[in-house]
Structures are given as structure tokens and as C-alpha cells.
Amino acid sequence: MKKLIVGNFKMNQTPEESKAYFMRFVSGFTGNRADVVLCPSFLSLPVASFLAKGSLVKIGAQNVSDEEEGAFTGEVSAKMLKNAGVEYVIVGHSERRNKYKETDKLINKKIKTALKNGLKCIFCIGESLTDRNTGKTFEVIRHQIEEGVRGLYENELESVVIAYEPVWAIGTGQNASVKDVENAAKVIRKVIFESYSEKASRDIQVLYGGSLNEKNVAALLNCPGIDGGLFGKISLNVNAFLDIANNLK
Ligand code: PGA
């Protein structure tokens, strides 16, 4: 199976800059080595989905409201995203858990709302440096998964991708080791096995994210149990990211 490569642009790129990026990426992407989802800001979604239409490039959003519709100032609904050509949404990113105080409960509600509206979720989990230093990594990620997928039916998991992103590895230039990632993938699949089934634990897509770059990508994405990667900083460099997506080993 092809690997899944996800680019999270975070709060970068104006719509005009996204236009230039997508023109370049869509025309350069071969789709031979990987599936790609690009997640620009909300405001860039219309131009991104227009330019990606009919290509192999899929569009994702970086956030979604837990509410369906109504008096929720500043929120963007799953239905709006779907209508704008969005296929995936990132939920539970550590930047949202930490700075915007998103709880496991809220994340669970966002996942349910997104799935109900036909969006796929890239559900992020990962331990902090303190968790890691106190030996709590597996306990923390187990808890995040159990709470995040609470109440989902097994068939709904087909639309959920779990991204293991240790908080200490995000934007720090300090990626996790192959062994760390392999062990985390094992724990993730074990939790899904215990909550669902052997089949679900095998089928669920698991990504690694955190300071991925052209040098470490091959080793980290080919470690056992890993189906792809979630890229932040490097995904903003269109040529570097195209190179990764087109030439993944
Ligand atoms: P990074 O971000 O690649 O810049 O570390 C990854 C992420 O936050 O998804």
C-alpha cells in the first residue's frame, strides 16, 4: 500500500501564496509513491480545492467545529468544509490541545461531527517531554486514543487515521527515533485491538509526525507499523515536499 503523506501548513500562507503553491504542487505531483493530503488554512481552502480538482492531491483542513451549525462565532463547520471540497480534517493537534486547551472530550466530539458529515479525520496524539521523562508515554497515548475514539463504531475507524506526534518532536528539529516510533505504533494498534478487533488494529492507518525532513523521512516512514507521515515545516517548501512525495523510498 502507498504511504500517506500529509502536509500541515499551520498558520502560514495567504490565499495568494497558496495559489502559487498549489499550482506548482498539483502540476509536479506524480502520485506514484504516495497519497498526498495538503492542509492549508481555512481561507486558502477554496483556491486549493479548485486547483486540486481532478488531480491526485487531496485537501484537508486543520480544524473543525464540534458543533453542526448555529450561533458559534468564529467556528467553521464540517458541512462547510465538505462543501468547500475538503476530504480530511486534522483533529487533536498538540498545538490546539495546548494553546487552545482542547480536551479529549472536545476532540472526541469533533471527530464524531466530522465523520457524520463525511470527512475523514487525522487524529493526533502524542506525549509531552514531561510524560516521556516520567515514563508515561504509553499510558498517555493510550488514554488519548481511548477518549478520542470513544463511542465510534468499528466501521467508522475506516475514516480515521491516527498520527503519532510526540509534542517534544514538533517543530523542534528533534525527531523521535525509529525505535520510539515503532513502539508507539505497536501500542496504538494494541489499544485499537483491545477496543475493537484484530482486523481494526491491522487496518487502521498510523502516521508519524514531528520534525520530519528529507533526511529522516525514509527511516521513520518505513519503520514497522507506520503508514505515512504528518509534515509541518518542510511541507511549506513546495520543491522539498514534492521531492519527498514523489520519491518516497
Ligand atoms: P513539524 O510539525 O514537521 O514542523 O515538526 C509537524 C506537525 O506539527 O504536524
What are the C-alpha distances in Å from 182 to residues 118, 164, 234?
A: 30, 10, 22
Q: What pTM was computed for the model? A: 0.97
* Pocket flag, ligand 1, residue 245 (CB < 6 Å): no
For residue 91, the Cα-to-chain-centroid distance in whole angstroms is 7
Q: Which residues are catalytic?
A: 93, 165
Q: What distance in angstroms lies between residue 29's CA and the mean position of ligand 1's atoms? A: 21
The domain that holds 92 is classified in CATH as: 3.20.20.70
| Dist. CA 173–CA 181, nearest whole Å | 16
Quote the pLDDT of residue 18. 98
Please, are residues 58 and 35 in contact by the beta-carbon 8 Å criterion?
yes
Q: What distance in angstroms lies between residue 70's CA and the mean position of ligand 1's atoms? A: 32
Please, are residues 52 and 58 in contact by the beta-carbon 8 Å criterion?
yes
Closest ligand 1 atom, CA of 230? Answer: 9
Number of domain units in the chain: 1
Could you tell me the residue range of the domain that residue 96 belongs to? 3-247
Closest ligand 1 atom, CA of 124? Answer: 9
Q: What distance in angstroms lies between residue 93's CA and the mean position of ligand 1's atoms? A: 10
Show the CA angle centred on residue 173, arms to residues 107 and 144, nearest 5°: 20
| Dist. CA 181–CA 187, nearest whole Å | 10
Pocket residue to mutate for ligand 1, from 233, 236, 237, 241, most atoms within 8 A of Cβ: 233
The one-digit pLDDT tens for each residue of the chain (249 residues) are 899 999 999 999 999 999 999 999 999 999 999 999 999 999 999 999 999 999 999 999 999 999 999 999 999 999 999 999 999 999 999 999 999 999 999 999 999 999 999 999 999 999 999 999 999 999 999 999 999 999 999 999 999 999 999 999 999 999 999 999 999 999 999 999 999 999 999 999 999 999 999 999 999 999 999 999 999 999 999 999 999 999 998
